[in-house]
Amino acid sequence: MTSKENEAIGVSVSSDGPRPCKRVRLNTPRSSTRTTALAESNHAAKSAIQSTSTQSKLHYGLFEIARPLGSGAFGQVYLARHRESCLICALKVLNKENFMCDGKERHVRREIEVHSCLRHPGIIGFYGWFHDSSRIVLILEYAIGGELFKVLAREDHFSEQRAAKYIAQVACSLSYLHKKHVMHRDIKPENILLGLHGELKLADFGYSVHAPDNKRETKCGTLDYMSPEMLVRGTVSYTNAVDLWALGVLTYEFLTGWTPFADNTVAATRRRICKLDMEPLPASISPEAKHFIHSLLVLDPPTRLSLEGVLDHPWIVKNCKSPG
């Protein structure tokens, strides 16, 4: 494995406050030979690991660790290769001491339970997991293009056509999740990765939850993308419409390079979200795009544009013939 092949995917870390876009560089491999080989490797990944697990217990020694790709709240992600099959993957190594002491283990347990049941081209692949006395290791698809956040930070903002195509892909992935009764609850550019051919893949299911009744009360996620109903004081239930709100914030950010409610303090940002005090969109943004955003950033959850409505919206249809 060459150094050029070992491109980093980022690690998404949730925060509780406003987050300005940082400008960073992203070098994405362009070799069709490398990407084709990686596609074939990833296609065989799960079956290869399952075959290994039936013969012997999965453990760290079965993988050749290339180098760290990034770090998160509970551990690090490494670029790795399964020794037996030579498949390339990402190992998300979570240190137990970082989350067992403060009750965060439920996030890890939920991430495994939810992510392991998902099979969709727009969702990062989950190949398996194992643990030892000090670590829990998730075996994930290697997204060679890295975080969409880094691309957005580098380019400042996206064209309407590109933004619409990206939003359509995220909407398709969310539609799959919601049909499986899963709320993501942390949609943001850091949790969207780029695949081999520039396609988007949702990642990081630490805040996701399986909710057959479509009701939850836990306040979680990243403040800039949290919906008003999540921020109301007291015990208030919400639905998967929180993901629709986040999709609206994401669209706004794609087109401008910043989030619509960010302020200097957490309290100020919360107030702006709850009052729908949004930064006006630039005059250069088309009326169709503005209508799309305002149809998602609605205080009353049931009246937000549905995912079906997202894919049928004139702005989406105009900018991408095949939204999936």
Mean pLDDT for 36-41 is 51
Residue of 186, 224, 243, 263 with catalytic role: 186
pLDDT band at 50; cut points 50, 70, 90: low
Residue 14, domain member (yes or no):
no
C-alpha distances in Å from residue 185, one per residue of 68, 83, 108, 111, 115: 27, 35, 15, 12, 13
Residues 168 and 262 in one domain: yes
Q: Determine the 3-state secondary structure of 249 from DSSP.
A: helix
Same domain, 129 and 180: no
The per-residue pLDDT for 101 is: 66
pTM over 0.85? The answer is no
Residue span of the structural domain in which 98 resides: 32-140
Interhelix angle 32-43/45-55, rounded to 10 degrees, is 40
73 versus 34: the higher-pLDDT residue is 73
Q: Are residues 153 and 270 in the same domain?
A: yes
Question: Range with the lowest mean pLDDT among 71-75, 144-148, 238-242?
Answer: 71-75
143 annotated binding-site participant: yes
Say if residue 204 carries a ligand binding annotation.
Answer: yes
Q: Same structural domain for residues 50 and 189? A: no
Smallest Cα–Cα separation from 122: which of 5, 205, 10, 202?
A: 202
What are the E-state strand segments in the chain? 63-71, 75-82, 88-95, 126-131, 135-140, 146-147, 182-183, 192-194, 200-202, 209-210
Q: What is the percentage of the chain residues whose pLDDT exceeds 70?
A: 80
State how far Cα 35 lies from the chain centre.
Answer: 21
pLDDT of amino acid 56: 53
- The predicted pLDDT at position 73 comes to 67
Q: Looking at the predicted structure, is the pLDDT value of residue 232 above 80?
A: yes
Residue 40 CB neighbour total at 10 angstroms: 11
Q: What is the pLDDT of residues 145-169, one digit of tens each?
A: 999 999 999 999 999 999 999 999 9
Provide the number of structural domains found in the chain: 2
Q: Is 238 annotated as a binding residue?
A: no
Q: Is 186 a catalytic residue?
A: yes
Q: How far is CA 48 from CA 86, 89, 107, 151, in A?
A: 9, 12, 27, 32
Kindly state whether residues 189 and 258 are assigned to the same domain.
yes
Q: Name residues whose C-beta falls within 8 Å of residue 257's C-beta, 6 or more positions apart in sequence.
A: 21, 152, 156, 157
Residue 14 confidence (pLDDT) above 60? no
Q: Tell me, what amino acid is at 75? A: G
Where residue 261 sits, what CATH number does that domain have?
A: 1.10.510.10
pLDDT band at residue 109 under the 50/70/90 scheme: confident
78 in a known ligand binding site: no
Annotation-wise, does 179 bind a ligand? no
